[in-house]
């Protein structure tokens, strides 16, 4: 498969992204849709923030981890994940069975969203591309994509998207301050259990 064909698959179904060194951090492939670009003269700080869901559904980002890092810095958004996400060699990625210790150990990874630690950057990019593709809505699974759907949409911050990464189940949750109960918005990634 050529790099161009592979890139097309990434955006047609963002859940096809694999750890093969050929993947994208963008919301979509159409560069003219990007809300900001280091090449286009528009700045990330000019993108309006009216909640997590509109930020990732109404605005295409050429670099989703960078957009998340900006929200961590400027909008008090936290990024958390199950330890499984941070362990590339976790048995879950081969077997699909969660280790209770890794699954239940939640990590604050807000400060490392721009580093290639574990599967964090890849799953963050794939999940946010899924959210961009599905839009600000709950969207049921389809026959073509039974593993890719979203639920629980409540404007402007709450949405859960389910998808597969490296053939295993992943959930990304965009959560409001009310939902976290901790006084901050959060993006949480968990592997398994759905």
Tokens of 5: 């064909």
pLDDT in tens, 83-119: 899 988 888 988 988 877 766 788 999 999 888 788 8
**Contact predicate 170/123, CB 8 Å:** yes
In this prediction, residue 79 carries a pLDDT of 97
Domain ranges of the chain: 3-191
Interhelix angle for 3-12 vs 120-134, to 10°?
60
Length of the chain (residues): 194
- Report which secondary-structure segment, H or E, holds 158: strand 158-165
C-alpha distances in Å from residue 5, one per residue of 23, 163, 177: 12, 21, 40
- Report which secondary-structure segment, H or E, holds 154: strand 149-154
Q: Bigger pLDDT: 45 or 116?
A: 45
Determine the average pLDDT of the residues in 28-53: 86
In this prediction, residue 28 carries a pLDDT of 82
Question: What is the number of alpha carbons within 13 Å of residue 6 lying toward its C-beta?
Answer: 11
Q: Is 194 helix (H, G, I), strand (E, B) or coil?
A: coil
Token pair 């963008």 in the structure block, residue: 26
Question: What is the number of alpha carbons within 13 Å of residue 185 lying toward its C-beta?
Answer: 21
């Amino acid at each position: 498969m050529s790099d161009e064909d592979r890139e097309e698959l990434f955006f047609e179904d963002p859940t096809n992204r694999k750890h093969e060194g050929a993947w994208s951090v963008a919301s979509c492939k159409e560069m003219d849709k990007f809300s900001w670009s280091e090449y286009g003269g528009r700045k990330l700080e000019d993108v309006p923030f009216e909640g997590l869901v509109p930020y990732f559904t109404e605005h295409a980002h050429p670099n989703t981890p960078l957009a998340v890092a900006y929200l961590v810095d400027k909008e008090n958004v936290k990024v958390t994940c199950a330890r499984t996400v941070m362990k590339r060699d976790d048995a879950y990625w081969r077997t699909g069975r969660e280790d209770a210790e890794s699954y239940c150990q939640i990590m604050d990874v807000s400060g490392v969203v721009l580093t290639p630690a574990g599967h964090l950057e890849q799953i963050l990019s794939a999940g946010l591309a899924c959210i961009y593709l599905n839009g600000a809505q709950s969207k049921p699974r389809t026959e073509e994509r039974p593993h890719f759907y979203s639920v629980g949409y409540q404007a402007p911050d709450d949405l859960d998207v389910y998808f597969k990464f490296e053939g295993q189940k992943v959930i990304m949750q965009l959560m409001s301050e009310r939902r976290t109960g901790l006084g901050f918005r959060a993006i949480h990634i968990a592997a398994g259990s759905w």
